Chain A
Amino acid sequence: MKRYAYFPGCSAETVSASYHLSTIETGAKLGVQFEEIEDWNCCGATPYTNIDELLAHTLCARNLAIAERTGLDVVAPCNACFKNLYQANQDLKTDADLAAHMNFALEADGLHYGGAVNVHHLIHVFVRDVGLDAIKQKVTRPLKGLKVAAYYGCQLVRPDRNDGFDATGPRYFEDLVAALGAKPVEFAHRLRCCGASLMIGFRRAALAMVHELLRGAAQAHADVIATACPLCQLNLECYQQDVNREFGTTYEIPVLYFTQLMGLAMGISPKKLGIGTEMISPKAALECVARKPAAAAPAHNVKVGQP
């Protein structure tokens, strides 16, 4: 049984509850236990660094210090939480002055961070620590014929924050999709930003960025977009209607978490994976799972918006 200190992030309690549910379910199936970090706090997202970098680091330092007591490595399912925790951890480990300053603040909550924790993203835990072979062994209902755009998002892999992976041309997400029996499509925008942090601050730009991603996914004939981040999921799915209104398109591409696809392939019931809370129903796309694995190609419910 592998164990991790799990940092759910603020959206796991509400807008991305399905990500949280499917993470716990698939983890259990693969012998991975995610133990929620006691009394965790927000990672600071992007706005904290806009105002004060030291404050942003303090938020992360508190989570790391609490996790350190458990002796487990930290895993975050959200790209933004992962980015913040990973970066703060790196800075705290390499900058003794910063660590001393942070520990002065942490004292107010009876905490101390010694720098013994490693931070990983959830998808990295599954593809590296668990491994694709172990995942394949658990697949009982392969997602045959399902065309999936594996969308990494922007903050997951960057050269100075790669968590040990190739940041320029990663393939592990596509490999994971293939391990589930689905077909990863060539999605050119897989590392391109969805604009989530701009949705309130600069809506026009954010919608254009979502539009571009949907266009890419439709061009690649994806039945479904798979994400590894609640912000990407919210942005790509829930604002699809707004994009259609703004750009005169008719996209209707379901956006699921990679953990939901894993769960489905492992025979976990859709309900347990939080499927059914989407704004764009993945039902038609997932017909291939409902049918016997040998059945024909799935219903294609992607409407290409622009020629």
Chain B
Amino acid sequence: MWTKPSFADEISNEMYTTGTRGLNCCIQCATCSSACPAVEFMDNTPRRLIGMINAGLRDEVLASNTFWVCASCYACSGVCPKGIKPSELMYVLKRYSIWKNQYRGDLVGPEFSRRFVRTIMRTGKSYEPGYAPAFIFEGGVQGMLREMQFGMRLLAKGRMPLMPSRVKRVDNFRAMLSRIVPLEGIE
């Protein structure tokens, strides 16, 4: 008889496809948490998050900021004694939460990722002034002034691009990506 896979199974299955072991072998030793340089900003440490996933606390996991604070530095994946790659877990949770459209409203990460991806979809190359300005209001008026100052300083040193660069065969480039996902769904 078929039963719906648990949340923990869903996440572990995703992890197998990225070439890492599932979460059922976690021994809760917290080596990942101690290796993490951003752990103090996470509401749940990586160890605790894995425990929560294994306990089936789906909504609490998706309401956590942990995986959006992950800087993808892979320090945890290098030290896990059980061969789990927690950095891959964080990617899996980011994708899962975007896919389910269920994440904390105060986080910048999801929208930033979407905008970055859209920029590359259009031109094939990254162009910071194309997506960064959308976020300068995050820090209030003070934050906005600070970001503008920052941009001016880069500009003064000739380190700020004035025009976006793009790949030459941009039509082919877009046709290539649309063979993976329909671009209409992302743009």
The answer to whether A and B belong to the same complex is yes
Q: Could you tell me which residues of chain B, from 35 to 59, have a CB within 8 Å of some CB in chain A?
A: 37-38, 40-41
Out of A59, A167, A191, A203, which one reaches B120, CB within 8 Å?
A59
Q: B11 to nearest A CB, angstroms?
A: 15
Out of B40, B74, B132, B176, which one reaches A58, CB within 8 Å?
B176
Q: Which 5 A-B pairs have the closest CB atoms?
A: A193-B73, A154-B73, A47-B116, A10-B126, A108-B175
Inter-chain contact total with CB atoms closer than 8 Å: 173
Query: Does A288 count as interface, using CB distance less than 8 angstroms?
Result: no
Chain B residues whose C-beta falls within 8 Å of the C-beta of A105 in the assembled complex: 176-177, 179-180
Query: Does A118 count as interface, using CB distance less than 8 angstroms?
Result: no
Query: Does B100 count as interface, using CB distance less than 8 angstroms?
Result: no
Chain A residues whose C-beta falls within 8 Å of the C-beta of B125 in the assembled complex: 10, 41-42
11 pairs of residues in contact across A and B, judged by CB atoms under 8 Å? A47-B116, A50-B113, A55-B177, A62-B176, A109-B175, A198-B71, A201-B68, A201-B112, A209-B38, A238-B153, A238-B154
Q: Which residue in chain B gives the minimum CB-CB distance to A202?
A: B69
CA–CA, A55 and B91, complex, Å: 14
Query: Does A195 count as interface, using CB distance less than 8 angstroms?
Result: yes
Query: Does B159 count as interface, using CB distance less than 8 angstroms?
Result: yes
Out of B68, B74, B117, which one reaches A51, CB within 8 Å?
B117
CB pair A44–B78 under 8 Å, yes or no, is no
Query: Does A277 count as interface, using CB distance less than 8 angstroms?
Result: yes
Q: B57 to nearest A CB, angstroms?
A: 22
CA–CA, A200 and B114, complex, Å: 13
Name A's interface SS: helix
Chain A residues whose C-beta falls within 8 Å of the C-beta of B110 in the assembled complex: 50
CA–CA, A158 and B68, complex, Å: 21
Q: Could you tell me which residues of chain A, from 56 to 80, have a CB within 8 Å of some CB in chain B?
A: 58-59, 62
Q: Which residue in chain A gives the minimum CB-CB distance to B18?
A: A53
Chain A residues whose C-beta falls within 8 Å of the C-beta of B94 in the assembled complex: 50
CB pair B95–A53 under 8 Å, yes or no, is yes
CB pair B167–A108 under 8 Å, yes or no, is no
Q: Could you tell me which residues of chain A, from 100 to 145, have a CB within 8 Å of some CB in chain B?
A: 101, 104-110
CA–CA, A105 and B175, complex, Å: 8
Binding site for A on B (CB under 8 A): 18-19, 37-38, 40-41, 68-69, 71-75, 77-78, 91, 94-95, 98, 107-110, 112-114, 116-117, 120, 124-128, 132, 135, 138-139, 146, 150, 153-154, 157-161, 165, 167-169, 172-173, 175-181, 186
CB pair B158–A17 under 8 Å, yes or no, is yes
Given contacts A50-B95, A51-B95, A205-B41, contact A197 B139 (CB under 8 A): no
Chain B residues whose C-beta falls within 8 Å of the C-beta of A47 in the assembled complex: 112-113, 116-117
CB pair A51–B114 under 8 Å, yes or no, is yes
Q: B44 to nearest A CB, angstroms?
A: 15
CB pair A15–B160 under 8 Å, yes or no, is yes
CA–CA, A46 and B125, complex, Å: 14
CB pair A154–B74 under 8 Å, yes or no, is yes
Chain A residues whose C-beta falls within 8 Å of the C-beta of B160 in the assembled complex: 14-15
CB pair B91–A42 under 8 Å, yes or no, is no
Q: Which residue in chain B gives the minimum CB-CB distance to A277?
A: B157
CB pair B165–A10 under 8 Å, yes or no, is yes
Out of A41, A62, A161, A200, which one reaches B135, CB within 8 Å?
A200
